[in-house]
Amino acid sequence: MNYHQYYPVDVVNGPGTRCTLFVSGCVHQCRGCYNQSTLNPSSGHQFDQALADKIIADLTDPRIKRRGLSLSGGDPLHPANVTEILALVQRVRAEAPGKDIWLWTGYTRAELSPLQLQVVDQLDVLIDGKFEQTLKDVNLKWRGSSNQVVHYLR
Ligand code: SF4
């Protein structure tokens, strides 16, 4: 898996103060995509054990209290990403108890494979669906277009 950006302190992508990871790779080709530079799964930097360790350390750092982890991109559920994302969310559950996990994907929940659904099982919130330019609404919270759904899972 590759990623484009990791923000250890983020107050934009989800509620409260968070850690946010923008991964590389997306198949959805939405018109008006807000993050086109991330679409190629080979772009960006390689995600490695050191960054996974840093995310856990940041989430559990008592000096800056984070509410949780946000996973965006790109698409964290892209086939090139889903195995490492599953390992990461399982680590967060085991090693950062009490932190919430939000994930944005261009797939709808109904389209997800059994492996992708294993990731969803670990989430607090899933925001699903492609960005549809004709349904864009800047007043929506946590999503760009009205076809997308915020699923509160826990
Ligand atoms: S799902 Fe998101 S990252 Fe992928 S093309 Fe659509 S807007 Fe861009």
pLDDT digits (tens, 9 = 90+) for 22-44: 999 999 999 999 899 999 999 99
Ligand 1 within 6 A of 22 CB?
A: no
Buried b (16+ CB within 10 A) or exposed e, 96-120: beebbbbbbbbbeeeebeeebebbb
pLDDT, tens digit (0-9, with 9 covering 90-100), for 78-121: 999 999 999 999 999 999 999 999 999 999 999 999 999 999 99
Strand order of the β-sheet with 149-152 is 45-46, 2-10, 18-23, 68-72, 100-104, 125-128, 149-152
Ligand 1 within 6 A of 143 CB?
A: no
- Cα-to-centroid distance, 34 and ligand 1 (Å): 7
- Cα-to-centroid distance, 128 and ligand 1 (Å): 11
Mutate to test the pocket of ligand 1, among 2, 5, 13, 35 (most ligand atoms within 8 A of CB): 35
- Cα-to-centroid distance, 106 and ligand 1 (Å): 6
The model carries a pTM of: 0.97
Q: Hey, which CATH number is domain 2-152, 2.40.30.130, 3.20.20.70, 3.40.50.720, 3.30.450.20?
A: 3.20.20.70
